Structure 1
Amino acid sequence: MLPPKKRLASVLAMAAAVMLLATGCSSKYAVMSPAGPVAKSEYHLILWSFVVMIIVVIIVAVLFIYVLARFRDKSDNPAPYHPEWEGNRKLETIWTIVPIVLVAAIAIPTVVVTGELENPPKSKNAPITIDVISARWKWIFQYPQQGIETVNYVEIPANTPVNFQLTSVGPMNTFWVPQLGGMEFSMPGKDLKLWLEASHPGTYLGRSGQFSGKGFVHMQFNVYAKPTSQFDAWVQQVKTTDPALSEAASRKLLMTAGLAKPESFSSYPSDQQLFAQADN
């Protein structure tokens, strides 16, 4: 057993860690600093689950201390001794019902919130669509409505739902922007969907949330949320100042394994055969 001073230091360290986690004041705990409606809903689910688990810990700790004090072996212990005790219907009913109630307390809100987040709510701003392609070891973002493409960074208008359509060239990955919402898979030959929204302008870190090979740790990108007017100005700047992405360059970008610097293109080829060639 640890000395009293070390035990106190351990308790204080755990308390500090919990406080840091709860306040979300470190970039390591971005999930605890929601910046969008999806992330806020998931944040509340995390807090609710934490409360339920703390209740379980408190109950178990209290029962543990009670059993130690009530049934410890000593000469004047008044607790009856029942060596042939086979069961207690009342206790068995309690410890069967209580876990069911606790699981339901977590499962029901999770199912309800997940269903509510399946589609974006009505917004004063029309949603935009961004096609996301994960490749070896980079993220490619195509804007079909604007006709532009970016690599390893993405800009979105704030207070606007963004429909991400996810696919992959090569290994399966997981698209994740912790401060904006949960993660979704990107898989070859699939078109999976995820909507996110930034409640205010800012820069949010995104990354691959799943091990997919030696370069996955570098698959990070920034999400720049800007006011609608600044986003529209950025789109026009890309269309007028950045080069067009040729079919050959697009094929090389998809098929070449390696890191890529953030860049943007004023247009990109729409030939879907590039994906089939890259997968082969």
Structure 2
Amino acid sequence: MKEILWKYVRYAPVAWALTNLSGCSWVLFNPKGSVGVAQRDLIITCIALMLFVVVPAIVLTFVFAWKYRASNQKARYTPDWAHSTKIELIVWGIPLVIIVALATIVWKSTHELDPYKPLNEGGDPINVEVIATDWKWVFIYPDLGIATVNELVFPDNRQVAFSITSNSTMNTFFIPQLGGQVYAMAGMRTSLHLIANEKGAYRGMSGNFSGPGFSDMHFTAYAKSEREFNRWVAQVRTSPMSLDYSAFLKVSRPSQANDVVHFSRVESGLFKRLIDQFVDSGKQISTQAAMASAATTANQE
């Protein structure tokens, strides 16, 4: 009876692990944009190349264990064996070829998928300025003079040029089905170019833990037709709320599970002002430190 119970107890962790796998999401392998498709193909190619080493190694482990088991009297016993040129060529040659192939593919794709590089499709881009705060996303459309919180909308089959920064801790801007994952850092501006090849609603998120509200720091990216996008812009412009620097300071206060908010007017140059606030602070701190160092030196003299 104990043996039977122990048998079931042994396999309980395996059953638990398989149950958890049912909640896994495969969105990375179901891309809806050309950048996401290219990144998916790169992942699959790299995995396939690496399996050329991994799979034979696993298979040969069992083959050797079976062939050279103690009960196999037909196995050749060579205790003085020390070298085989053929084995050395296989062991070192195949991995070397795979490494060269992977290096070539990654080098080429890294340049082709440079997030700062505009896409060769989609015509004139939609410019969106992205600001990560605690714990929400603010999207500014500088060419349209509108802004939103936790809602991103753009036309399908038209590239979107993102300028990304943070007003607080470091985050990563990530829309898995469209590709790319770029850091949002205070006082710095990063860029990303994406495109959605079909209409739909895509989950956006932060991939970098940033505090207690991190789990709710997500948004929905909607790819719509040009007509639907223009209709959405008109709807946002009916909002009575405007976003200037003082209003943004209120919006950026730490909060969790935030609803969508629309702003019909945005202060010109707000994105740059938010970046410069950290740059100016850094200059001020550096100046104060230099003055303190000079005063200390003068007192010592």
TM-score, normalised by the number of residues in structure 2: 0.78
- Residue 129 of structure 1, aligned match among 127, 130, 137: 127
Q: SS of the residue aligned with 2:204?
A: strand
Is residue 85 of structure 1 aligned with residue 81 of structure 2?
yes
Q: Deviations over 1:146-194 (max 9, x none)?
A: 1111111110110001111111111110111000002110111111111
Q: Deviations over 1:206-251 (max 9, x none)?
A: 0001112221111100001101121122112222344222432112
Q: Which residue of 2 aligns with 1:97?
A: 93
- Residue 248 of structure 1, aligned match among 221, 241, 246: 246
Is residue 145 of structure 1 aligned with residue 111 of structure 2?
no
Is residue 73 of structure 1 aligned with residue 70 of structure 2?
yes
Q: Which residues of 2 match residues 149-228 of structure 1 at below 5 A? A: 149-228=147-226
- Residue 238 of structure 1, aligned match among 233, 236, 239: 236
The 3 A distance-change label for structure 1 pair 239 and 75 is closer
Distance 1:208 1:102 in 2: 33
The range that moved more, 109-118 or 260-269, is: 109-118
Q: Which residue of 2 aligns with 1:40?
A: 37
Distance 1:199 1:109 in 2: 24
Distance 2:104 2:149 in 1: 39
Distance 2:62 2:72 in 1: 19
Question: What is the identity, as a one-letter code, of the residue corresponding to 1:128?
Answer: I
The range that moved more, 245-254 or 172-181, is: 245-254
Q: Which residue of 1 aligns with 2:28?
A: 31
8 A contact 1:70–1:79 mirrored in 2: no
Q: SS of the residue aligned with 2:61?
A: helix
Question: What is the identity, as a one-letter code, of the residue corresponding to 1:44?
Answer: D
The range that moved more, 96-105 or 176-185, is: 96-105
Distance 1:69 1:192 in 2: 55
Percent identity over the alignment is 33
Instruction: After TM superposition, give the deviation of residue 96 of structure 1 in Å.
Output: 1.4
Q: SS of the residue aligned with 1:145?
A: coil
Pairwise CA RMSD of aligned residues?
Answer: 2.8
Instruction: After TM superposition, give the deviation of residue 35 of structure 1 in Å.
Output: 0.3
TM-score, normalised by the number of residues in structure 1: 0.83
Q: How many corresponding residue pairs?
A: 264
Unaligned runs of 5+ in 2: 1-5, 282-301
Q: Which residue of 2 aligns with 1:63?
A: 60
Distance 1:124 1:50 in 2: 30
Q: SS of the residue aligned with 2:168?
A: coil
Instruction: After TM superposition, give the deviation of residue 275 of structure 1 in Å.
Output: 4.8
Distance 1:74 1:154 in 2: 67
Unaligned runs of 5+ in 1: 21-25
Instruction: After TM superposition, give the deviation of residue 62 of structure 1 in Å.
Output: 2.8
Distance 2:44 2:177 in 1: 15
Question: What is the identity, as a one-letter code, of the residue corresponding to 1:50?
Answer: I
Is residue 114 of structure 1 aligned with residue 110 of structure 2?
yes
Distance 2:197 2:51 in 1: 31
8 A contact 1:251–1:274 mirrored in 2: no
Instruction: After TM superposition, give the deviation of residue 75 of structure 1 in Å.
Output: 6.4
Distance 1:126 1:27 in 2: 36
Instruction: After TM superposition, give the deviation of residue 124 of structure 1 in Å.
Output: 5.0
8 A contact 2:128–2:163 mirrored in 1: yes
The 3 A distance-change label for structure 1 pair 126 and 80 is same
The range that moved more, 119-128 or 158-167, is: 119-128
8 A contact 2:119–2:193 mirrored in 1: no
The 3 A distance-change label for structure 1 pair 139 and 208 is same
Question: What is the identity, as a one-letter code, of the residue corresponding to 2:101?
Answer: A
8 A contact 1:251–1:278 mirrored in 2: no
